[in-house]
Amino acid sequence: MKTQILNLNNWPRCILVLCNFGFVEFLQIVLCNWYFIFSAKPIKYKTADSMTKKETAVLYDDIAKPKTLSRNADPCTAKGCKWPKSGSYVYVPYFISESYSQKERSIIIRGLQSFNVSTCIRFVPWKCGDRDFIYIENKDGCWSYVGRQDGGQYISLNKGGCLHQSVVQHEVLHALGFNHEQVRSDRDTYVRILFENILPDLKYNFEKIETNNLGTPYDFNSVMEYRNDAASKNGKPTIVAKCNPNLKFGNAKEMSANDILRIKRLYECCEYPVDNYTVSN
């Protein structure tokens, strides 16, 4: 079971003092890393992400769960796990670990940028005073918490298989409050889940959730859709489309139009022309 590993509500006083006096950003970064490295207690995850399939990282069992709250995608967004809106935009502070190379960092930045240009989400560099933020780190697999957590949260993007546009978008969508396509409340209308083919320990990843589907249809092209054979114990399909049992899905390279529409509806983005807002390095 995955558990909450971060709570930055009680940052060391020295950090706050340094921030209040406007200490250089570099020192903030060092201190932040120090906190994460020495103070956070990473949990060993029973991750099933396939880090060997570099072209199509398998993203099942990639949701981290807090210890005290059982939060599920859209249901939690009705209870406070949405990121707050300020004016027309939703600002999400981010911090990218220094462990990534410039090239790897660029992939992550590009993934964040894709939200900035298509929705009212604005990923902005973390700064002192930002209480809630995402910390993108090279941990063990590709995973994220669902929705905003209190006081900072990891998104793990392992260098060995998670640095793809689709994977960055997938994990960020979790952090924004979205869950997998095949767990949505109306999934039985569109797919059959073949539990008999699923690895026993991973069956919980296929349990239906009372999601708010935001008036959007089930989307086989969603970047949040599992592959047909996700978590299969025998190579046979675990998800079958009712409209076409031979349909292959779960290989989206980027967010679908529905993925973007859901963000806009959940966060009540105004329809506006794409601007030139950029995510800085």
Residues forming contacts to Zn ion in the complex (CB under 5 A) are 59, 62
Strands 142-145 and 191-193: unpaired
SS3 label, residue 106: helix
Closest distance to Zn ion from the beta carbon of 205 (Å)? 9
CA dist 78 and 261 (Å) reads 18
DSSP state of 232: B
Measured from the CB atom, the residue of 64 and 269 that comes closer to Zn ion is 64
Closest distance to Zn ion from the beta carbon of 3 (Å)? 17
Indicate the residue whose CB is closest to Zn ion.
62
Measured from the CB atom, the residue of 133 and 143 that comes closer to Zn ion is 143
Is residue 164 marked as binding?
no
Measured from the CB atom, the residue of 31 and 173 that comes closer to Zn ion is 173
Residue with tokens 């490295």: 37
Closest distance to Zn ion from the beta carbon of 63 (Å)? 6
- Residue 140 to residues 112, 157, 256: CA-CA distances in angstroms? 21, 8, 27
Helix (H), strand (E) counts: the chain = 7, 9
Q: At 6, which amino acid appears?
A: L
CA dist 224 and 142 (Å) reads 13
SS3 label, residue 142: strand
Measured from the CB atom, the residue of 62 and 137 that comes closer to Zn ion is 62
**Residues with a known catalytic role:** 171
CA dist 206 and 238 (Å) reads 9
Closest distance to Zn ion from the beta carbon of 34 (Å)? 30
Contacting residues for 16 by C-beta, under 8 A, at least 6 apart:
128
**Binding-site sequence positions for Zn(2+):** 170, 174, 180
